[in-house]
Amino acid sequence: MRGGLVMHGPPEPAVALTFDDGPDPAHTPAILDLLAARGARATFFLLGSAVERWPELARRVAAEQEIGCHSYAHARATVTSLDAFREDTERALDLFERTLGARPRHYRFPWGHPGRVAPRDVERLYGMTCVHWSGAFDVASDAPTIVRRTEASLEPGAILLFHDGCAPGSVYPASREPTVRALPRILDAIEAQGLRAVTVGELLSAGS
C-alpha cells in the first residue's frame, strides 16, 4: 500500500483479475461468459457513464462478479481538486445505487492517478478502498503479447489490470477483442501456477 492506495494484495495463492472502463456490450458479455465457464472471479471497475448507457449489462456484471467504481466520466479533471472529485464520484455512486442497488467497496482512479485527491479521503468520504494494480497487460494490440506479459507477472497476491471497455480519450486500443482472446490462456496460466482468480475483495480479505 502506498499512501492509502492498494498496489498489491497479500501473498496468498491467488491473483485478483480486474477489468476497467466497462460495461461495454462489445466485450463485457464474452468476458463474463469465459469467467463463468471457468469458475473464475473478477472485479469490474465500472464507469458511471457506461452504467447509465447500458444498465441491463451493468446489472448482469453486478449479479455475476464484484463491482468497483472507476469514476463517472473517466476525465483527468476529476482529480484536479477534491470538489471536482466529489462531484464526479457522487454522480457515479448515485447511478450505482439507483441502477444496481449497491455501492462499491473499491475505487480505481481514472488513469490510475490520484492527482490532488488523497486515497484516504476517498475512504473517509465514501467508504471505498482505492485500488491500483501490479501491472497493466492489455495495452498491446495482440493476444499473444497480452498473455506473455501476464504470465511474466503472475505471483501470489498480484492485482492484474485488463479492460472490457474503452474510456473516452483512452490511449489503449479501441477494441478489447485481444483481451477476450487472451483470457482463456491467462486463466490456464493462473491455474498452472497453483493460483486462483479471485475478486479484489476476496484477495484483500484473505490477508486480514
Q: What amino acid positions are annotated as catalytic residues? A: 20, 163
Q: DSSP letters along 40-53, please?
A: ---EEEE-HHHHHH
Alpha-carbon Rg for the chain, nearest whole angstrom, is 16
Distance CA 169, CA 149 (A): 24
**Residue type at 10?**
P
Grid cell digits, residue 185: 490462456
Task: Say how many C-beta atoms besides its own lie within 10 A of residue 123's C-beta.
Answer: 14
Cis peptide, bond prior to residue 168, ω within 30 of zero? no
Q: How many residues does the chain have?
A: 208
